[in-house]
Amino acid sequence: MSAAGAPFTALVLAGSRGAVDPVARHAGLPHKAFVPIAGTPMLHWVLAALRESPSVGRIAVCLDEPELLAGLPDSGPGDLGARIVAAPTGVTPGASVLRAIETLPDPWPLLVTTADHPLLTAAMVEHFCTGVPGDADVGVAVAPASLIRRSHPDSVRTFYRFAAEAYSGCNLFCLRTPAAKRAVAFWSRMERHRKRPWRLISAIGPVTLCRFLLGRLTLERAMERLSGLVGATVRAVEMPFAEAAMDVDKPSDLALAESILRRR
């Protein structure tokens, strides 16, 4: 449940980004979300984690071909409206979230994740949903680099270095209030720089960029500065799960996720 006690609507971003995805190409399939991992399409792993989470009340999936939802476990053409619904896609992930906010009835609070997050578990979802501070319009899940490197030293992640620790994003976002739309609009403008941390930080201002480059910017201060920039209160939630930050962007990620899920 959210801090206010209302169940979350979970939004899973499963749309294509135009170009042929390297993971889909590697698997010989047209759609990345349906690439099998340990015998199960990766989208199904994500939906299973969300279904098992007490904080999630309903699930919406952004998918280019919504008719594919009819093949999901425990759902069919006649009962898609009961728990899993289709949501329209946008040209970018941020645009997809904005369209979902506009089209889903009563979307708040909204939990956003991605279909290429097959290592997601109900425990991760619960830790995040219950950990978002009550004053936040937006919650962002992050995992410490030290934890990820210790648990999975061969995993290649994008890290954001702050004063005391580096962090990786976890593809988990909480949008609690309508003010969060302003943050999503900012994200939509900046997402082309997600693999270049300094470009993201520089958008927050030259002083903040200098502090970031000198290793003096704390995560808390970065969230405060970001909050002022987007006009919504943004808070980070540290995740104690290394695998919360491990999505599947390339074939090597696919092999790692396969080995982890088979061990589970």
Mean pLDDT of successive 10-residue segments in the chain (264 residues)?
77 80 89 92 94 94 82 45 77 92 94 97 98 97 97 89 92 97 88 60 62 75 90 97 95 93 89
Nearest residue to 173 via CA among 225, 120, 220, 221:
120
- The C-alpha angle with vertex 60 and arms to 58 and 63, in degrees rounded to 5, equals 160
pTM: 0.88
Q: Which two tokens stand for residue 24?
A: 């889909």
CA gap 207, 18 in Å, rounded: 36
pLDDT of residue 30: 87
Output the pLDDT for position 84: 83
State the residue for tokens 């919650």: 139
Domain segments of the chain: what residues? 8-263
Within 10 A of 165 (CB to CB), how many other CB atoms are there? 16
Give the model's pLDDT for residue 77: 35
The fold for domain 8-263 equals: Spore Coat Polysaccharide Biosynthesis Protein SpsA; Chain A (3.90.550)
Q: Where are the alpha helices (DSSP H) in the chain?
A: 22-27, 42-51, 93-103, 122-131, 145-151, 180-190, 197-202, 206-213, 219-230, 251-263
CB atoms within 10 A of CB 13: 25
Contact present, 23 and 250 (Cβ < 8 Å)? yes
